[in-house]
Amino acid sequence: MALPQEGKKAPVFKGVDQNGEKIALTDFKGQKVVLYFYPHDNTPTCTDQACNLRDNYALLKKKGFQVVGVSSDDIKSHKKFEAKYKLPFPLIADEDLKIHEQYGVWQLKKFMGREFMGTIRTTFLIDENGKIKKIIQKPVSKKHAEEVLAAWGE
């Protein structure tokens, strides 16, 4: 499935976060959302990305952003990841890949001559009206918060 388009309504999703809490896009109506998809908890690049968002979380919140991470890892893995790195935002466990597929980020990947299906690291910036303002493909993990602010014109 292809990525949704900028300027169009963001696909409505529902999931469960690391605390077992139900979370949906509709929970953030009237707010700016940073919805970021990442391959796996506790891997080097995913950890860099999560920690960069954590380290800049106060600034992002001050600017009105809600941060939500999504991966195919389970709740238990997300909980350990959150605790280990003191992450202040929800991480949705999308084990059945429904949200990944809605957003077109479950794709064929190639690594060391091998092909497999996996998560394409992608961030969707969703405006207060539920429209996709910007899609950041292949974000720079150690500078992701800066990319988010720049993409939003902050």
Tokens 């988010």 identify what position?
Answer: 148
CA–CA dist 20, 76 (Å, integer) = 10
* Alpha-carbon gap, residue 95 to 71, rounded angstroms: 8
84 vs 87: CA distance, rounded Å: 8
**51 part of the active site:** no
3-class state of residue 31 by DSSP:
coil
Among residues 10, 23, 35, 46, the one annotated as catalytic is: 46
> Which residues are the active-site residues?
46
